[in-house]
Chains A and B, each alone.
Chain A
Amino acid sequence: MNDNTAKNLALSHMWVAFIAFILACFMGEYQVLERSGLFEILSSPTVYFASVSTHGVLMAFVLTTFFIMGFGYYTASTSLKVPVWNKQLAWGGFSLALLGTVLAAIPLLTGFASVMYTFYPPIQAAFVFYLGATLLIVGSWVWCGIMIVMFLQWKQENPGKTIPLAMFATTMNALLWLWTSAGVALESLFLIVPWSLGWTDTIDVGMARTLFAWTLHPIVYFWLLPAYTAFYVFVPKQAGSFLFSDELARAAFIVLVVFSLPIGFHHLYMDPEQAKGWKMLHGVGTFVVAIPTFMTGFTVIASLEIAGRLRGGKGLFGWIGSLPWTNTMVLSVILSLLMLIFGGWGGLVNASYAMNAMIHNTAWVPGHFHLIFAGTTVIMYFAIAYYLWPILTKKPLYSNNLALVQLWTWFIGMSIMTTPWHVLGLLGQPRRISSVVYNNLMTLSWKPYELLMILGGLVLLGSACLFIYLLVKTQFNATTEVFEGQVEYAEPLHAVKDLPEYLNDIKLWNKVIAVFMAISFGIPILQFFFLDTYDSSAWGY
């Protein structure tokens, strides 16, 4: 299947994603320098919060959403072997999302939306910021719709056949995003937009935070699922092996999507607006998400073990050394899984109801989500880009060796930056502060860790620049050499036969999610209509 529309869509979306990424990396390094307080000339809370808000929006919303859409279009087209359905609509979605990004960038860069990427009320941004964010989300809904239509059309035209795993995973992610984004859409539509336009004077902060919690945790899995998709559908083939179990992979995606949704209250453990029983319910659900994570770890590592043994590896762990470590996809998955182990462990600490009190709102939290998102997830975005760029541009990767250097430096930089971040959290450093203005023994003890974070940030910035350099040099290389390779999906070790329909469709799981969401969020949201609550006036502009 050689669908030029899918290629152009993938390239356009991914370029927007990676331009956002590199801009955000420069801001990240500025922030770690400013926050350390070691450079008086950089000290400016105003600039810091404008930067940290832009950094968060670019990384968490722009990089991810555009990357996922671009990767999704290409995965759908190549795995189903059909053109992208309704290409005008797809380009319309892209344009809408891009317009939203530009609109949101204006107040962000001019200091009128320094509300961080969580934009928790009562901190208020200029209306244009919310409008831009809304358009970005609506653009992504277009992508969700196209993925679901392509999924259903293929099923209709191929009755009884097994939908390719890559498409099953992509459509599950589209379903997840529709459910996930509904929370923040409700918050924006009924609370934030009327308030930011001045139609209402005050806002119910508790309800706003509850609706955002609906979105805030599963959004992480929306970002992560493309990484998992690559784990399952690219890595085994690149390692020279087979996918250990297609069925286990599907089950992992289902459990992950279903259980990632009704768990957002672990972000509200310290909030007063929800009762402890609901928090406990969401907390238990958070631990359940560890199950598909372990299923994924097992399936991917088993696929790698087979690859290593097929390459001559012996003994209990001898196969690890036999793996093709110079393959960017294989190296990435190893580094990604390593970061997932430590980041996942940190997540279990966050989810622990009692222990959360120790690290809540401390530097531990950004340390954790940088390790999981910028580490585990983004390193797989790099791997996917290195794999797809030669296919999309028909030019060979500029330098495999430099790509390996880039991946290693990203891993090393992320380890150097996030380890002290976690420690600082345990030492009591709050998050969401621009500087430490008092010098006592406690804050002075933070300095060595902040110096390490600056070093880690510098390594990461260098690695990010190298990544962009490699993409540019690959695409715009004057070489006459033509890359003829096509995308190759991993075959399962045992052919899939008689797959039960629940592992081959999304309809049942959509209903299950609806029930879970009604149970987990029904009363916690409805209570705001029956209880006396007290609104807050706006802080900001």
Chain B
Amino acid sequence: MSAVIENHHDDHDHGPAKGITRWLYTTNHKDIGTLYLWFSFAMFLIGGAMAMIIRAELFQPGMQIVEPEFYNQMITLHGLIMIFGGVMPAFVGLANWLVPMMIGAPDMALPRMNNLSFWILPFAFFILLSSLFMEGGAPNFGWTFYAPLSTTYAPPSVTFFIFSVHIMGASSIMGAINVVVTIMNMRAPGVTLMKMPLFVWSWLITAYLLIAVMPVLAGAVTMMLMDIHFGTSFFNAAGGGDPVLFQHIFWFFGHPEVYIMILPAFGIVSHIIETFSRKQLFGYSSMVWAMLSIAILSFVVWAHHMFTVGLPLAAEIFFMWATMLIAVPTGVKVFNWVATMFRGSLTFETPMLFAVAFVVLFTIGGLSGLMLAIVPADFQYHDTYFVVAHFHYVLVPGAIFSIMAAVYYWIPKWSGNMYDERLGKLHFWLSFIGVNVTFFPQHFIGLAGMPRRYPDYALIFADWNMVSSIGAFLFGFSQLLFLFIVIKTVMGGKKATDQVWEGAKGLEWTVASPAPYHTFSTPPKVD
């Protein structure tokens, strides 16, 4: 996409307000994007600290550091915080920063709602985290909060958990509505749907998924609330309900949620690989169609999370094949990325390193997912560390690597400064080694039969658990280096050019670095 920019200088143009009110009252998409990104970074560190506690406990067999009850609270909060506080707000932050600049819009379509959707999030997580200090402790039923563990047997703090999930859901829904309205109505003339950058496409699809499934999650927690406090029996067999119903409703939300956390990553990686290959992206339209088919298929595969509840054979076969079908569009994407790099003029700056690692490691996670889709095999893998290894491979070197890649790739545009390339590369290699040392051995202990969600394990799993914990500490503490690099870049550094990267294409690279407070007040011309 090429664009001609006219440099209008508007004398009435005003910068941001001063002090804290800038952040409290802001309706500027760049400010809100920054808020989201810092918030998700804070949550990433909190959720990461919980992961460190988990891995410290699992360093050796036997109970060493924490009580089993507290361990359960840690695994629950780690999952909830990383998903709803880490990955999702990071992607919303990136959408806020990038979507308007990529389509040549002056801001998001609903700036005030944008402010609201961010500012309710800290309250949601304050409520969730405060449950740690309540009588009976924080939620301890795992992030999937299966009934009746989360209803009949839940600690009293479950009501606060339900309320915080409602708030997170409201925030995500508002964010998603904002993205859709912006993309559908505020594209600069000439930016047709099939000319949109892939990150914009990926977010358009993600936003529709969010609008479709977050209300279902809200419904599920509302039913829990009614079962706990108002005497209904949605999930209580004694009163005519069914606990398996909870799993059906939860995974109807839960599976599209998985793609909510990976589709924007697909968009990011496509941009980065295109730039550092100095070639046009291979198969743009097939990328769009692949994302659309993944999104549609995500609604008909939910029961593959519950193969062992006693589904009838016909259902098991249907969900097995539907799940395997998703490998086809995903494979199209992976091959397109490889084809883009093929005979490209490649350089490996930090964003590209993360993006290439994404392609390789996400594919490993995808393939173990394919193994889990096989019904007879899943009866062995179900609820073992193999599952833990699988979804951490798609979420850590998948979603989180893509977010880190995006930060390195766009931070020169956001801050006006280049990050320290040497430190960036160091951060990449520490993370890359750390992530693999952590999660690869979990495949082995999972196949050997170690169940997930226990604070203790049999002696035969001791060696690989120790390796996994060492990797986790390496990965965890390297993220402090990432924090340092980001702060250092924001504070100063080599000035970035407007285009920043030699091969970078797209409207966001046509504005000054750092991006002015207001961009594209008059729409750019796009051929």
Asked if chains A and B come from one complex, the reply is no
Which A residues are closer than 8 A to B by beta carbons? none
Which B residues are closer than 8 A to A by beta carbons? none
